[in-house]
Structure 1
């Protein structure tokens, strides 16, 4: 059993080291809340990390995570009193896929869960379709991010990724 696990580990390391089409991405995004989220939050800020495996020339799939925060907003509450919402901070754990429309343009999507690490919302289903421009080393993208449970937190985002 040890030999099988060791062999499997060696094959995975070899694949990661020698795979030239696979890539690791690190980036950041900023967004404006929309819908009911606009009433409760000022903006969405976050960092992203992802690793994608090349399935073929145009399609890649992998895993993604990071940290995303919806910043609190002051609003007029019940009886005309000023109230402030609580920041909502999530750690997404999701699968990601990307399809290249051409050498530079792509469509992508993330689907998984977002775990709330600070705030009063619970975890939720994360979905994020993307459209963007890419070169060999960078990506610029626009995305819609939704985190849905009993209440949906959503935003329109602009992001930047650096590929390693």
Structure 2
């Protein structure tokens, strides 16, 4: 996994060297967890670097590498032998490195839609990595982008900790939020 991540980073750096005048973006996101993972995680935040190359008049494609963190919540009860017992356990944060292919279509100079598809590598022993997708849309000018997104990772819990309220139905983690990107 470390070799894969390092290779992706070197590839992104190589693409930037080809055409450094435009296409490079640094973005930050913040949002809330929804779906199956909402019992385990609260806030979601992350940062990423991407490079998009124009292939047609309003279509840009490229790649993105980032860091995503889903903050763990306090778990109210642990199920032991079918009986719920109060606890002070807190779900561990889920830290991911998404490596994706990206595309963006500019409807007008100010409005765009895009999608990131790839794989998210888990940096935690308690969670698996999985398929990653992030459709987004928003407003942009020459230097910045502001957007709303829906993010999904097909990840499962992979731990020997006692069953908790969230571990039985934990098949994926989704987040919804806002982000901003600076275009270099």
Same fold (TM over 0.5): yes
Cα distance in structure 2, aligned partners of 1:80 and 1:162: 45
Tell me if 1:99 matches 2:119. no
More strand by share: 1
Cα distance in structure 2, aligned partners of 1:155 and 1:77: 24
1:59 touches 1:97 (CA, 8 Å); kept in 2?
A: yes
Matched residue, 1:123: 129
Unpaired runs of at least 5, structure 1: 1-11
Matched residue, 2:11: none
Please list every run of at least 4 consecutive aligned residues from structure 1 whose deviation after the TM superposition is greater than 6 angstroms.
none
Other structure's SS at 1:75 match = coil
> What is the Cα deviation at residue 122 of structure 1?
1.0
> What is the Cα deviation at residue 119 of structure 1?
4.7
Query: Normalised by the size of structure 1, how large is the TM-score?
Result: 0.86
Tell me if 1:38 matches 2:44. no
Higher relative contact order structure (alpha carbons within 8 Å, sequence separation ≥ 6): 2
Across the two proteins, how many residue pairs are aligned to each other?
A: 150
Aligned ranges for residues 24-35 of structure 1 at < 5 Å?
24-35=24-35
Unpaired runs of at least 5, structure 2: 1-14, 79-84, 157-170
Which of 11, 15, 19 aligns to 1:16? It is 19
* Closer, same or farther: CA 14–126 of 1 in aligned 2, 3 Å: closer
Other structure's SS at 1:36 match = helix
Tell me if 1:108 matches 2:114. yes
1:88 touches 1:119 (CA, 8 Å); kept in 2?
A: no
Cα distance in structure 2, aligned partners of 1:58 and 1:77: 51
